[in-house]
Amino acid sequence: MSKTIESNSILNRLPKHLKQFIKPQNYEDYSAIDQAVWRYVMRKNVDFLKTVAHKSYLDGLKLTGISIDSIPNMYGMNRILKDIGWAAVAVDGFIPPNAFMEFQAYNILVIASDIRQLEHIEYTPAPDIIHEGAGHAPIIANPEYAEYLRRFGEIGCKAISSAKDHELYEAVRHLSIIKEAPNSKEEDIASAEKKVEDLQQNMGEPSEMALIRNLHWWTVEYGLIGTIENPKIYGAGLLSSIGESAWCMTDEVKKSLYNISATYKDFDITKPQPQLFVTPDFAHLSLVLEEFANTMALRKGGLSGVNKLINSNALGTIELSTGIQISGIFNHVIETNGNPIYIQTLGETALSYREKELVGHGIKNHPNGFGSPIGKLKGINLAIEDMSPRDLSAYSIYEEKTITLEFEGGIKVSGEIITGKRNLQGKIILISFNNCTVTHGDTILFKPEWGIYDMAVGKDIISAFSGPADLNSFDLITHKTSSETIHIKKSKKRLELETFYQQVRDYREGKNRTISRTKVLEQLIEKHPTDWLLTIELYELAFLGNEKQLCENILHHLETIKQNKPQVGKLIDDGLAIIKQNVKV
């Protein structure tokens, strides 16, 4: 990690491949406009959410150290989050789904440290600190929900993706970046939207990752809790959207009871959601998650699990009934009657037991792939793994014996046994051969001149999942994105506007009371006539100071802005309403 990132005991547990996604927050990069955007959204949200959000939200804001007036400093948040067993890290926008969920499994919130533009104050398709910090963080103060989030990450990071999933991830990331970036061309946005839409419509059979991502969306991001007649908000996407949090409470948004059917309900990240799911309580979320996990290759294994790994064209692992784990890129399976009888990887492969690499069986020992038969021996009811040392001797499965093992599926392994490895229960999990030939009918699968043949022992594939069994077996620090978040050089006009915002912020915080707010208003009207947010901040100060003439001048200007820019009319009205209520939040 960068030296500018403060670590702690929770972050110290992270494996190296996750640390590659972390970046410094660089708090000083937030402008006074950014701070005003945060403050407006939070004041408006908390004012509204105190009646419609789950009770854990407001309590969680205090418990997680999130201020309404200032963008949270993640290092300060971490000092508070550690008391509930969590931490937060900054990242650059979207990161791959498997990595995002793996962070959750380590009790770490991933927070996109950028903040939405003033022009996108109501909603942004890009992850930002309002969504991540003000949306996700408060709810994890609820222990039941926090455990759901952790468990979701633990299961979700093992979900197998398809090759198209990665393409869609990159397309969505690119779209979110250019939609949020200033000065993006409309035709570029339209082109990016079309690419996402085309990919979504041509994904084929949904992968495990696509399905569990749906569950994540309809719970962690856009979940409601309670009853269909009287739901409360807990999803971070709703908690952080000042437009959608209100709209989702109307009858225009269909509400359905949350169950496993949400797995197959797709979503559009670029638009408000027309329907949402309501869970009766947080415990119900875990029940549905376990129901889905029971459908995953992680728990089912078998031929379908191997085929999912082959289709993913990515690093994955299968575990056999003896507990031996084979990690690599799977490219071939031979099957008979719906059962796998031989599996094959391509390129670097590692063998493990209980997530720990077997000594002498890392990628340096298996650089060119690994193949092994699956199943029981033909004509013998007792599987090799269930044989005692006496049984193994009786069937000549013994060191220095030259033998031919014929499996029920037709795989033949012929060679001289060198040695074997056993698991903690004494079951044989690996047998090594010299001068070995492996065949399936007329097809040669392994030749003696290829060296020592290591045969994994197992009658069944009991699990298949994404990623390696032992995280240290492979170099996983290889992530490269096709697009980076766009930060354009600020114009003189923009820098001037930021100066005005900073002056007003300094005045409100008591750092500089010599500033003339009347002069700031005059300069705004002259040089930035459509800027509404700073005008509202000026009105707040005048209103609290009972400066009636200045209030009238500001209200007159706001009416002019509403006439010239009607799309911000509701934002202005809502901001004024909060001030006039003199709500202490």
Domain boundaries, the chain: 11-290, 315-466, 492-581
Give per-residue pLDDT as tens, 307-355.
Answer: 999 999 999 999 999 999 999 999 999 999 999 999 999 999 999 999 9
How confident is the model at residue 3, as a pLDDT? 42
How confident is the model at residue 1, as a pLDDT? 37
Backbone angle region of 272, left / alpha / beta, with phi > 0 → left and psi within -120 to 50 → alpha: beta
Q: Which CATH architecture has domain 11-290?
A: Orthogonal Bundle (1.10)
Q: How many CB atoms lie within 10 A of CB 563?
A: 9
- Percent of the chain beyond pLDDT 70? 94
Q: From CA 434, how far away is CA 415, in angstroms rounded? A: 6
Q: From CA 42, how far away is CA 260, in angstroms rounded? A: 33
* pLDDT of 471 above 90: yes
Encode 518-531: b = buried (16+ Cβ within 10 Å), e = exposed. Answer: eebbebbbeebeeb
136 is in an annotated binding site: yes
* pLDDT of 510 above 60: yes
* pLDDT of 58 above 60: yes
Q: From CA 150, how far away is CA 286, in angstroms rounded? A: 11
Paired with 438 in beta bridges are: 413, 446
Token pair 């949400």 is found at 262
Token pair belonging to 336: 């008979």
In angstroms, the Cα distances linking 139 to 93, 276, 441, 481 are 21, 18, 59, 30
User: Span 488-505, mean pLDDT?
Assistant: 89
Per-residue pLDDT band for 97 (boundaries 50, 70, 90) equals: confident
Q: Which of 239, 276, 250 is nearest to 54 (CA)?
A: 239
Lowest-confidence segment of 69-83, 184-198, 291-305 by average pLDDT: 184-198
Q: From CA 444, how far away is CA 344, in angstroms rounded? A: 13
Token pair belonging to 519: 């002069």
> How deeply is 198 buried, as exposed, middle or buried, from its count of CB atoms within 10 A (0-12, 13-18, 19+)?
exposed
131 is in an annotated binding site: yes
SS (H, E, C) 315-357: CEEEEECCCEEEEEEEEEEEEECCEEEEEEEEEEEEEEECCEE
Give per-residue pLDDT as tens, 140-197.
Answer: 889 999 999 999 999 999 999 987 777 777 777 777 777 766 777 888 878 877 877 7
Contact indicator for 419, 398 with CB cutoff of 8 Å: no
- How many residues in total does the chain contain? 585
Give per-residue pLDDT as tens, 212-232.
Answer: 999 999 999 999 999 999 999
* pLDDT of 5 above 80: no
User: Span 111-132, mean pLDDT?
Assistant: 80
- Higher-pLDDT residue of 503 and 487 is 503
Mean predicted lDDT score pLDDT of the chain: 89
Give per-residue pLDDT as tens, 238-260.
Answer: 988 877 888 899 999 999 999 99
Per-residue pLDDT band for 584 (boundaries 50, 70, 90) equals: very low
For β-strands 224-226 and 275-279, DSSP reports them as parallel
Q: Which of 249, 126, 114 is nearest to 179 (CA)?
A: 126
Q: Which of 365, 445, 456 is nearest to 412 (CA)?
A: 445
Lowest-confidence segment of 89-103, 357-371, 524-538 by average pLDDT: 89-103
How confident is the model at residue 274, as a pLDDT? 92
